[in-house]
Amino acid sequence: MTRSGKKQQQKRLDPDASIAIVGCGIAGLSAAISLVQAGFTNVHIYERDADPTTRREGFGMTLTYNPKGPLHHCGILEQVAQQDCPSRCHYIFDPSGKVLGYFGNAFLPSRGFGQRGNMRIPRQTLQKIMTERLLQLIKDQQQQHNNDTIITSGIHWNQCLCSIQQLEAKGKVQIEFRHQQERQEQIITQQSTTTIVVDSDLVIAADGVRSSVVSMLAPHCQPRPLNVRIVLGIAKGCHHPLLTERGFYTIGDGKHRLFTMPYEGDRFASTERRIMWQLSYRFNENSHVDETCSNSQSPQVLLETVMEKCSQWHEPVPALLKATPLETVWGTSLMDRDPMALKEAFQSFPRVVVVGDALHAMSPFKGQGANQALLDGPLVADWLQRARVDAAVRGIWREAVARTDKVVQSSREAAEFWHSAACTQQQQDLCKFAGVKEDACSTFLETLSRRHITAHLSSELDSSIRSIIEELGVGTGSDVLNRAQEQDGQSGLQEEIMGLADRGSTAELRNVSLSQPAAVQSARDTQGRSALHLAARSGHYQTCRWLLTEALVDPWTLDSMGRSPLDEATDPRVKSLLQKGMQNGTTS
């Protein structure tokens, strides 16, 4: 290589350098958004799906609410939070409904019922938000440059990767895509295929666990089977207290694990609530059953299989399955990736990085797949801004693998544990109960079982458990003490809260509530008005919705003049929301 060629190879990537992202999933969109925000003007996503409408609805995802995290970096944190489908707690049951554990805030004196660190949102909804954000950034970039700089960034649908090769002499990577088009001529639909060839300065593989890029460049790095299959469905119209803004796990036989979570809607939404469920089970790794058999089975067969396995389980499991439309049911065999092996395999490809599930696919049993994919985008942009391209690629690989390798491994171990005999043998050591002293947990759970306090109590389960906690004196703290501590120096905080509510500053209110759980709920101004009064008066729909669903501000609160938040509202949407709140109450 010539001296000038070496110098060219080692400089930083120019803002107009060609960057090709293969795959328009969460990791690919995170990378594209981060790169455009960093000033790169020639960023292209190539996606094999024909268009967004052809994608499967997908599953619900758990995302971390972090004011300094990747969603904030991408500029979509509050938008995602507004689409959050509340899930406040999860019980753990055995198939008969026996209580094995609990995660949530209902029995914790130090936190309110509504403050949560996680959000739940359908995958397709997140992808839509991210796609719109990317397209808006590109549009803003075009307007900002006033045609002085050619902005060519965009998303290219219906592009199937055919080949990829490194052009060492040019310091580029050549990729070829096949584009299939349909055209209607009279009554005959004809298909034509065209190919495009792109020479890119950098390729980012974000095309999932079955990555075509990885298959072509490192065919020996295959996804690793976990010997666990999952079947998922989304139930509609199944109303049950154990599914209302909460979910549960059902375990106990060492073979199967059922997980439920709210998927869409809440008590105040105009759309009907939907619940996602996921049954996972181990299959014999020594069998010769095709690993992809659950992919090829029809939804009818998959649902019948699940109903057969779970027909005798506690309510509302049978009702949940019966309320599941076939078009929402799908199944797959779980696989993960070895990030370290991929890092070693791609050392000979200095202009290719791998992100998302293509690099660190993991089992869903730690709930970290989407969060890790979101983190990849800012990492890529940060390195490309501060280092020459070869060093940047090495840095991206090093940090991404260091961050995800342990997460993949722990997720793999969780997949093995939850579907093994060890899960049943270690139930007492495994299952914790939030709000109960750890050393008293075993005795407490035995008491619940002995007194038949199980899932069958439905809407009375929480109150029955709370009574046992008080009777045994095994709670983790005192409500009175915590409330007294929170009330110190509240006058200034109350004034701040009321100002935020009046301005509709939902994000700031959320941050206050995370550190001061009861403050937003109890805040009043000199006229006795709550934060909900002021938000309603100013017509801030999203703020009112958050105050009702998360901070649990009472919509029946009257000010010194005897007026409720509904009396203050003039906006029709806010009025409708408050009316539902007064009908439904603020607790599930």
**When comparing pLDDT for 376 and 104, which is higher?**
376
For the purposes of burial, counting CB atoms within 10 Å of the CB of 279, is it exposed (0-12), middle (13-18) or buried (19 or more)? Answer: buried
Domain count of the fold of the chain: 4
Are residues 316 and 186 part of one domain? no
**When comparing pLDDT for 255 and 379, which is higher?**
379
Comparing 5-19, 140-154, 199-213, 516-530, the range with the smallest average pLDDT is 5-19
Structure tokens at 23: 């795959």
Are residues 395 and 351 part of one domain? yes
* Residue at 71 is within a domain: yes
pLDDT at 488 over 90: no
Are residues 443 and 407 part of one domain? no
pLDDT of residue 285: 61
State the sign of the Cα–Cα–Cα–Cα dihedral 531, 534, 538, 544. positive
CA 369 to chain CA centroid, nearest Å? 8
Give the rounded percent of residues in the chain with a pLDDT score beyond 90: 67
Q: Return the HEC string of 477-490.
A: CCHHHHHHHHHCCH
Q: Nearest Cα to 388, choosing from 6, 39, 11, 7?
A: 11
**pLDDT digit string, tens, across residues 313-370:** 999 999 999 999 999 999 999 999 999 999 999 999 999 999 999 999 999 998 899 9
* Residue at 8 is within a domain: no
Are residues 565 and 580 part of one domain? yes
* Residue at 132 is within a domain: yes
Phi, psi of 166 (to 5 degrees): -85, 130
Comparing 14-28, 29-43, 97-111, 543-557, the range with the smallest average pLDDT is 97-111
Are residues 48 and 139 part of one domain? yes
What CATH number does the domain containing 268 carry? 3.30.9.30
Q: Nearest Cα to 230, choosing from 362, 328, 334?
A: 334
> Can you give the residue range of the structural domain that contains 576?
481-584
Phi, psi of 334 (to 5 degrees): -80, 140
Report how far apart, in Å, the C-alpha atoms of 160 and of each of 26, 51, 198, 213, 349 are.
18, 13, 13, 11, 21
pLDDT of residue 150: 74
Q: Do 150 and 94 form a contact (C-beta atoms < 8 A)? A: no
Are residues 185 and 152 part of one domain? yes
pLDDT at 415 over 50: yes
How would residue 255 be classed by pLDDT, with cut points 50, 70 and 90? Answer: confident
* Residue at 515 is within a domain: yes
Give the rounded percent of residues in the chain with a pLDDT score beyond 70: 87
SS3 label, residue 204 = strand
Sequence-distant (6+) residues with CB within 8 A of 105 are 88, 89, 111, 112, 113, 114, 115, 116, 434
Are residues 538 and 397 part of one domain? no
Output b/e per residue, 18-56; b: 16+ Cβ within 10 A: bbbbbbbbbbbbbbbbbbbbeebbbbbbbbbbeeeeebe
**pLDDT digit string, tens, across residues 71-94:** 999 999 989 988 888 888 899 999
* Residue at 311 is within a domain: yes
* Residue at 430 is within a domain: no
Structure tokens at 474: 């095994």
pLDDT of residue 587: 44
What CATH number does the domain containing 503 carry? 1.25.40.20
Tell me the average pLDDT of the chain. 88
Q: Nearest Cα to 477, choosing from 434, 431, 517?
A: 434
Are residues 406 and 301 part of one domain? no
In the predicted model, what is the mean pLDDT of residues 4-15? 66
How would residue 1 be classed by pLDDT, with cut points 50, 70 and 90? Answer: very low
Are residues 45 and 152 part of one domain? yes
Q: For residues 206 and 376, what is the distance between their CA atoms, to the nearest angstrom?
A: 10
Are residues 190 and 73 part of one domain? yes
* Residue at 418 is within a domain: no
pLDDT of residue 116: 63
Are residues 171 and 312 part of one domain? no
Question: Which of 425, 460, 477 represents a domain boundary (last residue)?
Answer: 477
Q: For residues 251 and 430, what is the distance between their CA atoms, to the nearest angstrom?
A: 12
Q: For residues 395 and 122, what is the distance between their CA atoms, to the nearest angstrom?
A: 32
**pLDDT digit string, tens, across residues 269-324:** 656 789 999 999 988 765 544 444 556 689 999 999 999 999 899 999 999 999 99
SS3 label, residue 183 = strand
Are residues 359 and 276 part of one domain? no
* Residue at 308 is within a domain: yes
